[in-house]
Amino acid sequence: MPFSRIADVGRHEGERVLIQGWVHASRSKGKLVFLVLRDGTGLLQAVVSRHDVSDEVWDLCERLTQESSLEAFGVVRADPRAPGGFEMQLDGLTIHQIAEGYPITPKEHGVDFLLSHRHLWIRAPRQQAVLRIRDEFIFSCREFLHDRGFVNVDAPIFTPSACEGTTTLFNVEYFDQRAYLSQSGQLYNEAAAMALNKVYCFGPTFRAERSKTRRHLIEFWMLEPEMAYADLDDVMDIQEEMVVFLIDRILQRCPADLEILGRDPAPLRAVRKPFPRVSYDEALERLKELGEPLTWGEDFGGPHETALSEQFDRPFFVHRFPAAFKPFYMKRVPGREDVTLSVDLLAPEGRGEITGGGQREDSLDLLKRRMEEEGLPRADYEWYLDLRRYGSVPHGGFGMGIERTLSWICDLPHVRESIPFPRMLYRIYP
């Protein structure tokens, strides 16, 4: 008797198979019991007829509760009315555990309750769909970069210095030294790019921001490619190519999960090259027309990003931001000390920024001057300055927030659903 995942039962029509999983739901109707089983790959209805099973099996079926674990045996048959188009005529089972008092019932629950039971909430079909899409998205990111010659070089999580300002750092004790949880692997990526030309890192990132918006997490995952011999246009080109590739992959490989989420695929199908490229100055003009004016030199807030992204049917770039709110390592526009060769990619449908990056300063003298202007401790960055002393070249890259991008792709109301166990301003449990 073959074992089958629920996602693959269609290959076993007419055969008796073994399913290992849990009871998602159950109901009785006279001489019939209907069980909806789940195994992480999908849902399968199992029908139990009183006339076709022993008294022992029937009694076991009547005892089953939501989230009880079991192995079910039965014949697979096609039924267009069943979830997935197939069901099982169950004729035997082995119970591993009867779950008593499962707290997440079919009734409505508040978000705080669900987050406190996140370890169980991820069993819900909607949450499973998000996590499967997340898996496919991350796999496809790595595939895209690998196929284009990028080498994965992991950056450290403990760092001796700040990457993007000291106000959002988590301090940690590192024996007798001060250390921080990483805000970004970018500085280390630059070192790796000088060794391997095209690289990327992928890992957790920590920002001690006291923000409670639907776009913020304290701990999130970031994909960060970096390229030697690259300028700002190269950075935008690779992002554009990658995002189109990723959306195509999700549409091809996760249609059932998008359907579970109720995600309209039409806006995703509109994600095609070229992406609009709007300068910061042009964006200010648009915001003024939209009734969200900004003074030159101010950074976008959530309302500004939302207003802009509602004007486009695909992701779009905003480039050449003022230096006032960009990191010290960002290269300046020639002849404009107050403007950087930086870029953000904003998602459509009011979603806002999903990537940020640009061209890095490759001049040793200019980088030292910027560090002095910002009062950065020279000793902490000597290794970074070495990259400009020994074979410096034009280079650039970007960071993509996995959770924000998934929130857009899945059309989630809050970024907290895009990560298995969210860490937010007032939540670190479970």
Residue 228: exposure state from Cβ atoms within 10 A (0-12, 13-18, ≥19): buried
Q: Is the pLDDT of residue 422 over 80?
A: yes
E strands within 218-259?
A: 219-228
Task: Please report the pLDDT score of residue 165 as a whole number.
Answer: 62
CATH T-level assignment (fold) for domain 118-418: BirA Bifunctional Protein; domain 2 (3.30.930)
What's the alpha-carbon Rg for the chain, to the nearest Å? 26
Distance of CA 43 to the CA centre of its chain: 24
> At 249, is the pLDDT very low, low, confident or very high (cuts 50, 70, 90)?
very high
Please state the rounded mean pLDDT for residues 173-199: 96
Cis amide bond preceding 430, omega within 30: yes
What are the phi and psi torsion angles at 293 (to 5°)?
Answer: -70, 150
> At 82, is the pLDDT very low, low, confident or very high (cuts 50, 70, 90)?
confident
E strands within 217-297?
A: 219-228, 277-279
**DSSP state letters, 18-77:** EEEEEEEEEEEETTEEEEEEE-SS-EEEEEEETTTS-HHHHHHHHH--TT-EEEEEEEEE
Residue type, 237: D
Q: In this structure, are strands 151-152 and 198-206 parallel, antiparallel, or unpaired?
A: parallel
pLDDT tens digits for 86-123?
A: 999 999 999 999 999 999 998 899 999 999 999 999 99
This prediction's pTM: 0.96
Domain with CATH 3.30.930.10 in the chain: 118-418
Residue 160: exposure state from Cβ atoms within 10 A (0-12, 13-18, ≥19): middle
Task: Please report the pLDDT score of residue 168 as a whole number.
Answer: 85
What are the phi and psi torsion angles at 311 (to 5°)?
Answer: -90, -5
Residue 301 gets which letter from DSSP? -
Which CATH code for domain 6-97?
2.40.50.140
**DSSP state letters, 354-376:** EEEEEEBP--HHHHHHHHHHTT-
Contact between 425 and 218 under an 8 Å Cβ cutoff? The reply is yes
Q: In this structure, are strands 32-38 and 69-78 parallel, antiparallel, or unpaired?
A: unpaired
3-state DSSP assignment of residue 225: strand
Please state the rounded mean pLDDT for residues 321-343: 96
